[in-house]
Structure 1
Amino acid sequence: MAIDWYDEFVDLNYTPDSDEIICLFSCEPASGISMKEAAGRVASESSTGTWTTLFSLPPRMRALQATAFEIDGPYLKIAYPIGLWEEGNAVQLLSGIAGNIFGMKAVNHLRLIDATLPEAYLRHYKGPHFGMDGIRDMMGINGRPLTGAVPKPKIGFSAAEHAEIGFETWMGGFDFVKDDENLTSTAFNRFEDRVIALAKQRDRAESLTGEKKSAFLNITADTETMKKRADLLVANGWNYAMIDVVVAGTAAVMTLRDYCSDLGLAIHAHRAMHAAFDRDPRHGITMQFLAKMMRLIGVSQIHTGTAVGKLVGTAQEARVLADILREKKTMGVPQMSLDQDWGHIRSAFPVSSGGLHPGLVPDVLDIYGDELVLLVSGGIHGHPDGTRAGAAATMQAIDAWHEGVTLEEKAAGSPELKRALEKWGSYQPK
């Protein structure tokens, strides 16, 4: 009598139905396991299988089992029937296609690269509250990237010091001041104090510049505390909340998406801890799949890297991530992503950040275009003439890109940019 039945989860002649979720994996089987055997084990463990044959099964089980239907070298595709998935529960989806399968002895390495989410699954999600157009309307910004900066160092300032740096950032022409991932409510910079101090400086900057100013203030904590912090943001006139979405968890983000939506708050998603599972090219989950999940459950924007700054990621990866977040329909890139039609789900901004300065701005815009949130932090605060001059230099670099002139040509009439180039040139930090 047979012990296992993994081969029943592989059919290389199978044609998926239009309402099935299709997942692309890369796989390195363990010694003595063929790729076909490994594919069957992944499909089995992530759907209706188990390690041994069973005495009996209800007939409907056949309609619920996943099918590995394509194997191409180390890559495999698995189709998952729509009936496997609870409506509107992204947490349960992850428990299936990104759950036990990573710990199986039958695979040395396994990586979830992407998933095509059909309309039958998408219809149960709201996606981002605003979309990119809604964010631009909210901020009154068109024809250029949205800009922001973290006071640097990322943690250590008092609330008053943080707010003063924020004021200088806004006065240099930037739109947003941003908390970083590990600044929540510390003894030396309580969340409530920072919210109030920044609001006063925001009002001052708006009065002086006539421009809308805002901030990404980090509410990350347990869900009930995040709700209270979101309430405080609204009470002080803010239109954004920031969440460390990976460490907070999918369920918390889903809860806060609706809570913030009811308050009129957009969500800035920081991806802290993502590289713990997406940096190894052989194992874990890709950043493109994480970005897709975050758009699905409704953040307004998420960090996607720079390709030219201090964080890992290529220009092609940045473009794929940007398309996944911004476009209504995307065509798959071999071995990197799958086709996706987002239907009613609104767009989200990619956020480029990490080791940027004015000299790198054209390189980033060549990759992303205008539809992004551009965060330049150390690269403004380290300007020889201070934060305000650094922000102005960055805005001048953006103007140069739009005008089609080199930074050196622009710097001839832009002293802030000239000083920035004297310090950094085109240096790419590591």
Structure 2
Amino acid sequence: MGITYDDFLDLDYDPTETDLVCEFYVEPAADMDWDDAASRVASESSNGTWAELQVEGSIRDLSATACDIDEDSGTVTVAYPDALFEPGNMPQVLSCIAGNILGMKAVDRIRLLDCDWPEQLATSFPGPQFGTSVKSELLDAGERPITATVPKPKVGLSTDQHAQIGYEAWTGGLDLLKDDENLTDQAFNPFEDRLTESLAQRDRAEDETGETKSYLLNVTASGTEMLERVDLAAEHGCEFVMVDVVTTGWAAVQQVRERCERHGLAIHAHRAMHAAFDRVPTHGVSMRVLAQVARLCGVDHIHTGTAGLGKLENEDTPGINEWLHGELYGLNDVLPMASGGLHPGLVPALLDALGTNIGVQAGGGVHGHPDGTHAGAKALRRAVEAAAAGEPIADAAEDTPELATAIDKWGTETPR
């Protein structure tokens, strides 16, 4: 019996609780109507092809079904039977739902907008080891947002300069020092030297402040080297590692998650390269889905944007954060990190938009302070504490000269 594109379309189909249900934005090609385009999305992403196939029996049970078309919103819903997926294998899952379909001639544009993950598939992944509990288990943030900074310039600082900036930021009140996404093991700042010298300054800052501090160490590398860097971080007493999750790939993230559990390390996810998938609003893969994948694979923090307040493109940061905080079959949640063009004057609006169960990270908004990194850190910490407590930032600035200086310099304007 032949199987054709028509077999992948059933607008009366009601997805089962074990189906992975995906919502796509679709613009059909000029020679395709909505039914044609929807059926081809379901076919190509499951077990169909362009030619009519003669098949019998249970193969049909593995076909995806385009079960809803909303021409007004331009969306198509596709339900995938659970048996299509290898449990715990995120690259395989994405090769189905975000693979060849993104290049099909049958559609001019297609974007994976959202996924409804069934329990059996979702719980085949570990999820985060800590999630938002890092605020209290690994740090002293309590109910306020955790605070972080990245040394600037992004790259080029020597190891001594990098570690000194960390000390100034930590003693100024920030919880975390973070490597930038393109700093790994370069000659001007070698990985192991940076690890040991930064942690020495971390220990010094903890002794002086009485607060717990830590370091988001970028272990991004090829697979074996990356795991060795995770081991080294644990050996030297670092509580976190950072991974560029998109550029390394999800299989590598899954390996890091497994290795970090051995050591009790948390994972900070940097999303460098995400805009290659999500910046064009009508094509690619949404940041919402990338964040979902990151949670399943087991990161504890991930950058999700600033709700339009920073230097990067606006996106549905509140909606993404809500999903990361939400219930998912008992898997731990994720702490969203707001970063990219932030400074103290933006903190009240940021927390109004996103709440306090986040991290607030500023680079230039700390190190660009007229009085230097230590003063910039004090300004950011005070702004975060004030906003979390509902205290007007102008009142906070009256007792914190560093914050007053930051507001004089940047006001509440968004940088570009």
Query: Normalising by the residue count of structure 2, what TM-score does the alignment of the two structures yield?
Result: 0.97
The correspondence of residues 186-265 of structure 1 with structure 2, limited to 5 A, is 186-265=186-265
Cα displacement string for residues 135-157 of structure 1 (whole angstroms, at most 9, x for unaligned residues) = 52121320100110000111110
Counterpart position of 1:338 = none
1:173-212 CA distance string (max 9 Å, x none):
0000000000000010000110011011011101101111
The residue aligned with 1:309 is 310
Amino acid at match of 1:61: I
Task: Specify the alignment match of 1:59 in structure 2.
Answer: 57
Q: Name structure 1 gaps, 5 residues minimum.
A: 329-341
- Gap change, CA 1:36 and 1:357, over 3 Å in 2: same
- Structure 2: which 5+ runs fail to align? none
Contact 2:199-2:215 at 8 Å conserved across structures: no
Matched length: 413
2:371 to 367, 385, 400: 385
Report what 1:86 is aligned to: 86
Aligned-pair distance for 1:406? 2.2
Cα offset, 1:402, TM superposition: 3.1
Alpha-carbon offset, residue 405 of structure 1: 3.1
> Within 5 Å, which residues of 2 pair with 1:355-374?
355-374=341-360
Residue 400 (structure 2) aligns with: 414
* Structure-2 change in CA distance of 1:61 and 1:263 (3 Å): same
Q: Deviations over 1:31-54 (max 9, x none)?
A: 110011000000000011111112
Amino acid in structure 2 at the alignment position of 1:406: P
Secondary structure of the equivalent of 2:153?
coil
Residue 23 of structure 2 is matched in structure 1 by 24
AA of the residue aligned to 2:361: L
User: For 1:10-409, what aligned pairs fall within 5 Å after superposition?
Assistant: 10-54=9-53, 56-73=54-71, 74-306=74-306, 307-314=308-315, 317-328=316-327, 342-409=328-395
Deviation at 1:246, TM superposition (A): 0.2
Query: What is the CA–CA distance in structure 1 between the aligned matches of 2:173 and 2:123, rounded to whole Å?
Result: 40
C-alpha distance in structure 2 between counterparts of 1:135 and 1:373, whole Å: 9
> Which amino acid is the alignment partner of residue 52 of structure 2?
T
Give the match's secondary structure for 1:79: strand
The secondary structure found in structure 2 opposite 1:412 is: helix
Instruction: Determine helix, strand or coil for the equivalent of 1:217.
Output: strand
The aligned amino acid for 1:360 is L
Stretch moving more, 126-135 or 96-105: 126-135
CA distance in 1, matches of 2:135, 2:360: 14
Give distance in 2, aligned partners of 1:143 and 1:155: 33
> Which residue identity is paired with 2:35?
K
Q: What is the SS of the residue equivalent to 2:68?
A: strand
CA distance in 2, matches of 1:368, 1:347: 16
| 1: CA distance, partners of 2:126 / 2:221 | 23
Letter in 2 for 1:311: L
Report the RMSD for the aligned CA atoms in angstroms.
1.3
CA-CA distance at 1:404 after TM superposition: 2.5
Shift of 1:94: 0.3
CA distance in 1, matches of 2:34, 2:329: 35
How far apart are the structure 2 equivalents of 1:282 and 1:61?
Answer: 32
Which amino acid letter does the alignment assign opposite residue 67 of structure 1?
T
CA contact (8 A) 2:304 2:336 kept: yes
Secondary structure (helix, strand or coil) at the match of 1:139 reads coil
SS of residue paired to 2:399? coil
Q: Letter of the 2:314 partner, please give it.
A: G
AA partner of residue 41 (structure 1): R
Cα distance in 2, alignment partners of residues 152 and 51 from structure 1: 52
What code does the residue aligned with 1:399 have? E
Supply the distance in 2 between the matched residues of 1:318 and 1:79 (Cα, whole angstroms).
26
Matched residues in 1 for 2:386 and 2:50: separation?
61
Question: What CA distance in whole angstroms lies between the structure 2 residues aligned with 1:181 and 1:138?
Answer: 22
8 Å CA contact 2:356, 2:388 repeated in 1: no
- TM, length-normalised to structure 1: 0.94
Q: Which whole-Å CA distance do the structure 2 matches of 1:179 and 1:297 have between them?
A: 22
Q: Which amino acid aligns with 2:259?
A: Y
SS of residue in 2 equivalent to 1:60 = helix
- What's the CA shift string for 1:11-58, capped at 9, x where partnerless? 11111111100000000111110011000000000011111112x313
